[in-house]
Amino acid sequence: MKQLVLVPVVLTALLVGCAAQTSKTTTDEAQAAAPSNPAEADKRARVRLELASAYFGRGQTDTALDEVKQALALKPDLPEAHNLRGLIYASKGEERLADESFRHALQLNPRDADTMHNYGWFLCQQQRYAEADALYTQAVAQPGYRDTTRTLLAQGVCQARAGQWDAAERTLMRSYELDPANPVTAYNLSTVLYRSGEYERARFYIRRVNQQQELSNAQSLWLAARIENRLGHRGLVDDYGRQLRGRFPQAPETLSYEQGRFDE
């Protein structure tokens, strides 16, 4: 799942002006060079889309957006391109354009679970929780969908953000049962159980993360310390504190430990 990065308002305004001029040029060039053979146009569009995805993965959002626009100039009805354009616009803080792109992608392919997942996460960031939840449920229900675990994780996190703790627990448990080795799922499930006062159960899942040092981090160690504090295990609290000081001395979680802010 992609994290949405908000660009400062002034910078966004400047980028929109520049992008509009650039995209017109590249789109005109793509249209002029578009092959008359539909199969060739589809092939070229997908090459552009692969380039756009690679640029986006490296954080080069403007270049990625130009490549997507060139792909759409070659094949305007390519759902994957509209989906990726939605992710790019979301990362740039262009909420309206992102929303339009995701909607268009689903109009072209109403059964595209990947777009449902991405649009659902975008809506969750906008605190449109009910709409997001409906999309996640639709995505999981699609026959042959291979990323059910990922979507259930996102759905559970979104339900937790909405304060729907019982629903979040059920959803995250489903995700965990499908992939018990996923440390992100275990961490989020433990967090939900902790918030629900299920301290022993929360302890079970977070310990599975922290038992492997390469998977643990400041957040997982701090959550474990808070759980042990609730259970009255002072020695274990101190042990997690030592790990925080030794491995993550500058982390906000270490500062919270030092200041004793266990209940925040």
Question: How do residues 208-251 score in pLDDT, each as one tens digit?
Answer: 999 999 999 999 999 999 999 999 999 999 999 999 999 999 99
Which residue range(s) make up the domain with 224?
180-264
- What's the farthest any 2 CA atoms get from each other in the chain? 73
User: What is the distance between the terminal CA atoms of the chain, rounded to a whole angstrom?
Assistant: 27
- At residue 13, the pLDDT reads 23
- At residue 136, the pLDDT reads 98
Residue 140 lies in a domain: no
Q: How many residues are listed for the chain in this entry?
A: 264
**Domain end among 110, 143, 166:** 110
For residue 23, pLDDT over 60 is answered with: no
Tokens of 6: 């908000």
Residue 198 lies in a domain: yes
C-alpha to C-alpha distances, 253 to 79, 202, 224, 225, 237, nearest whole angstrom: 42, 18, 11, 10, 13
Residue 167 lies in a domain: no
Q: Residue 222 sits in a domain of what CATH number? A: 1.25.40.10
Grade residue 36 by pLDDT with cuts at 50, 70 and 90: low
- At residue 204, the pLDDT reads 98
User: Which range is least confidently modeled, 15-29, 56-70, 164-178, 249-263?
Assistant: 15-29
Grade residue 2 by pLDDT with cuts at 50, 70 and 90: very low
CA dist 141 and 124 (Å) reads 19
- 92 and 195 co-located in one domain: no
**Domain end among 89, 110, 131:** 110
CA dist 192 and 186 (Å) reads 10
The single residue listed with the structure tokens 């268009």 is 104
Specify the higher pLDDT residue, 71 or 13: 71
- 105 and 190 co-located in one domain: no
Residue 216 lies in a domain: yes
pLDDT digits (tens, 9 = 90+) for 130-185: 999 999 999 999 999 999 999 999 999 999 999 999 999 999 999 999 999 999 99
CA dist 148 and 58 (Å) reads 26
Residue 103 lies in a domain: yes
For residue 6, pLDDT over 50 is answered with: no
CA dist 158 and 143 (Å) reads 23
Q: Write the DSSP symbol of residue 7.
A: P
For residue 17, pLDDT over 60 is answered with: no
What percent of the chain lies above the pLDDT cut of 70? Answer: 86
Residue 257 lies in a domain: yes
The single residue listed with the structure tokens 């999981």 is 140
The total domain count for the chain is 2
Grade residue 39 by pLDDT with cuts at 50, 70 and 90: confident
Tell how far CA 92 is from the center of its chain.
15
Q: Write the DSSP symbol of residue 182.
A: -
Tokens of 263: 């209940």
For residue 21, pLDDT over 50 is answered with: no
User: Beta-carbon neighbour count of residue 114 at 10 Å?
Assistant: 20
CA dist 145 and 115 (Å) reads 12
**Domain end among 110, 127, 160:** 110
For residue 11, pLDDT over 70 is answered with: no
DSSP-H helix ranges across 58-147: 61-74, 79-91, 95-108, 113-125, 129-141
For the entire predicted model, the pTM comes to: 0.83
Residue 21 lies in a domain: yes
- 92 and 189 co-located in one domain: no
